[in-house]
Amino acid sequence: MKLASTIWKKNLFVAAALTLMTLLLLNGGIRQAWAAPTSGTSIVLDGKSLDGAESLVRQGTTMVPIRVISEQLGYAVNWQKSTGHVTIGSEPSQIVLTIGSLNADSPLGSISLTQAPFIQSNTTYVPLRFVGTQMGLGVKWEQASQTVLLQSPIEAPPVPPAPEAPPAVDNPAAISIDSISFSDKRLTISAGADVTPTRFELNNPDRLVVDLPGTVFGPALLQNEALARGAEAKLAVENSSLVKQVRYSQFSQNPSIVRVVIDLNRKTGYNLYTQGNLIIVDLNNDGTAAPIDSNGKKTVVIDPGHGDHDSGGVGISKIQEKNIVLNVGLKVAALLKQEPNINLIMTRSDDTFVTLTDRAKIANDAKADLFLSIHANISPSSSSAGGTETFYAEASRSKALSDVIQKHVLAATGFKDRGSKQANYSVIRNTKMPAALVELGFLSNLNEETLLNQDDFQQKIAEAIVAGIKEYLNL
């Protein structure tokens, strides 16, 4: 009996020990799969290993502490414990993630994540691929070495100095701007032929901008040294409490646009009108700005997204969204300039940055009939995601435009139909006319990126966009 009791106790001890070992192993397995830093995983930025940049993998998503984002990658990070918000980067490319949420806010609206940010052992973890892609980094996974490869955007080569030859010689079909003067609160611009100007206002500081499509500086103005080398010239304004100065430059070579900017000390009313070959901006008016007489033309605003330091999405081959959409936008502009019943305004015609607020304001101030923003998509989680989609903010005002743009652009790209749908993007939410934002395709999809970078494919898309605009405007 004593022997049996001893054996029973021994078996009970062994069973308990086995149970404890099983629990420890399970717990260890859970730690290994869900909590501990992934063994052997490393992060490399521009060929240099980021020492101490530990990572976790959850549901196939590489997660890193936010200190890696700030200390190792150099981005500004703001952690708000009370709201659970993690803000990364600075305007205009700022993104906001929320602990436990699969939605992240970006400059173009809400984006779905494959893994939500989380806190573990007092450390906040965020998805590396998503953050890297949004910040303009190329992100790749090297399976053999278990390495995350990060690549900074390739900077465009410096723009060569402007040629000594006058722009008018390079573009003989353009109308010459022969003189610019300011007197008695009145700006007078003399052109070699009739010019239809466009104008918009900017705030902080207050500015009145006048664009002269199809124009270049004539020989007389090119005697100015600054203009001759392609820089900006300034016209001194003396004894004026209203105007600081007048600036003018060759804003764009293709299409040819001379831009004149009046820097104001305060907002003021004005009239813009033409008399023969003269363009006159009269500030002797205390009322509100009078719209340009468009002679029955429809005013169309084309908005190529991003620009300058804001590259937008960066494709698999390091192609930047800002360049793709600008090329398409310029091709659209060239086609619309041939339409006699359309008055064209571009929010940007070169690699410059315009805020989201100013993009909408340009269209609103011009009392435009239609606004179209051009973008290209990025999927932070899938290289197979693809397709064309178009967005509108307010259905009653803009869905019809979005639908017709989607129809035409989809036919041109041949990509997957992702539909015409509602979104709360700033540029289409804050415009007061029918407005749409078209995502041509995915730069994170190698096939679509390759096509979107081809000149003939861009031309095909531009023709489709113009066809959609004309159909919507019944032209």
Q: For residue 267, what is the DSSP state? A: -
Kindly report, residue by residue over 177-220, the tens digit of the pLDDT. 988 888 778 888 988 888 889 888 887 788 899 999 999 998 88
pLDDT of residue 108: 61
Residues 286 and 306 in one domain: no
**Cα dihedral 56/57/58/59 (nearest 10):** 170
Residues 397 and 301 in one domain: yes
- Rounded to whole angstroms, how far apart are CA atoms 298 and 363? 12
Residues 106 and 199 in one domain: no
Domain boundary among 293, 320, 350: 293
Residues 241 and 330 in one domain: no
Residue 163 confidence (pLDDT) above 60: no
Kindly report, residue by residue over 409-448, the tens digit of the pLDDT. 999 999 999 999 999 888 999 999 999 999 999 999 999 9
Q: What is the mean pLDDT of residues 272-289?
A: 71
Give residue 286's pLDDT band: very low, low, confident or very high (50, 70, 90): very low
Domain boundary among 293, 325, 352: 293
Residue at 18 is within a domain: no
Give residue 109's pLDDT band: very low, low, confident or very high (50, 70, 90): low
Residue at 165 is within a domain: no
Residue 310 confidence (pLDDT) above 60: yes
Q: Are 349 and 330 in contact (CB under 8 A)?
A: yes
Kindly report, residue by residue over 116-143, the tens digit of the pLDDT. 889 888 788 888 888 877 777 777 777 7
Of all residues in the chain, what percent are helix, strand and coil, respectively (each to 5)? Answer: 30, 35, 35
- Rank 66-75, 234-243, 315-324, 353-362 by mean pLDDT and report only the highest: 315-324
Total domains, the chain: 3
Show the domain range for 364.
295-474
pLDDT of residue 410: 97
Residues 231 and 331 in one domain: no
CATH of the domain at 91: 3.30.457.10
Residues 334 and 193 in one domain: no
Q: Are 93 and 100 in contact (CB under 8 A)?
A: no
Sequence-ordered list of residues with C-beta below 8 angstroms from that of 382, at least 6 positions apart, any chain: 444
Q: What are phi and psi of 33, to 5 degrees?
A: -80, -35
Residue at 27 is within a domain: no
CATH of the domain at 357: 3.40.630.40
- Rounded to whole angstroms, how far apart are CA atoms 465 and 406? 9
Residues 410 and 426 in one domain: yes
Residue 153 confidence (pLDDT) above 90: no
Which pair of tokens denotes residue 100? 């436990």
Report CA-CA distances (Å) from 38 to 33, 41, 475: 8, 6, 60
Annotate 17-67 with DSSP letters as a single string.
HHHHHHHHHHHHHHIIIIISPPTT-EEEETTEE-TT---EEETTEEEEEHH
Residue at 9 is within a domain: no
- Rounded to whole angstroms, how far apart are CA atoms 348 and 352? 7
Kindly report, residue by residue over 212-258, the tens digit of the pLDDT. 999 999 888 888 888 888 888 888 887 788 899 999 999 888 888 99
Residue at 405 is within a domain: yes
Of residues 248 and 88, more confidence is placed in 248
Residue at 166 is within a domain: no
Residue 101 confidence (pLDDT) above 90: no
Residue at 145 is within a domain: yes
Residues 301 and 348 in one domain: yes
Residues 229 and 110 in one domain: no
Residue 340 confidence (pLDDT) above 70: yes
Residues 398 and 374 in one domain: yes
Residue 315 confidence (pLDDT) above 60: yes
Radius of gyration of the chain (CA): 29
Residue 176 confidence (pLDDT) above 80: yes
Residue 17 confidence (pLDDT) above 80: no
Q: Are 217 and 260 in contact (CB under 8 A)?
A: no
Report CA-CA distances (Å) from 19 to 2, 28, 33: 26, 14, 21
CATH of the domain at 181: 2.60.40.3500
- Rounded to whole angstroms, how far apart are CA atoms 132 and 122? 23
Which pair of tokens denotes residue 326? 């600008």
Domain boundary among 238, 264, 293: 293
- Rounded to whole angstroms, how far apart are CA atoms 74 and 33? 29
Residue 102 confidence (pLDDT) above 60: yes
Give residue 262's pLDDT band: very low, low, confident or very high (50, 70, 90): very high
Residues 388 and 361 in one domain: yes
**Beta strand pairing call for 215-217 and 175-183:** parallel
Residue at 21 is within a domain: no
Residues 350 and 444 in one domain: yes
